[in-house]
Structure 1
Amino acid sequence: MQVILLERVPKLGQMGQIVNVKPGYARNFLIPKGKALRATETALGAF
């Protein structure tokens, strides 16, 4: 799953980067904690 990082995440990337992560990691950790957004066309356009 591709996500856009909203803040620096150690061992993953810097703010604004688009990275590939496992879907469970994105759904259960990054997105609920506000550290990332799913990289949809709408999110890419807004960022």
Structure 2
Amino acid sequence: MAATEVILLQRVEHLGQMGDVVKVRPGYARNFLLPQGKAIRANEANRSRFDRERAQL
């Protein structure tokens, strides 16, 4: 099963810090990280948007 890349929007225990791009199982992303707003999919549009927002901080 292929892994899904996500960008963490907040610290997730045993996974990473805010801004980290991590590979997780698709079910974990779909059922936990994405619905709870803890991560967004790591596609090109989201990566560039996150980089712009990080630059403003």
Q: What band does the TM-score fall into relative to the shorter chain? A: over 0.9
Kindly report structure 1 stretches of 4+ aligned residues shifted beyond 2 Å. none
> Normalising by structure 1, what TM-score?
0.99
| Count of residue pairs brought into register by the alignment | 47
Alpha-carbon separation, structure 2, partners of 1:36 and 1:44: 12
Q: Does 1:2 align with 2:12?
A: no
Identity of aligned residues (%): 62
Structure with bigger gyration radius: 2
Greater relative contact order structure (CA < 8 Å, 6+ sep): 1
> Normalising by structure 2, what TM-score?
0.82
Over the residues paired in the alignment, what is the CA RMSD in angstroms?
0.2
SS, match of residue 42 in structure 1: helix
**Structure 1 unaligned blocks of 5 or more:** none
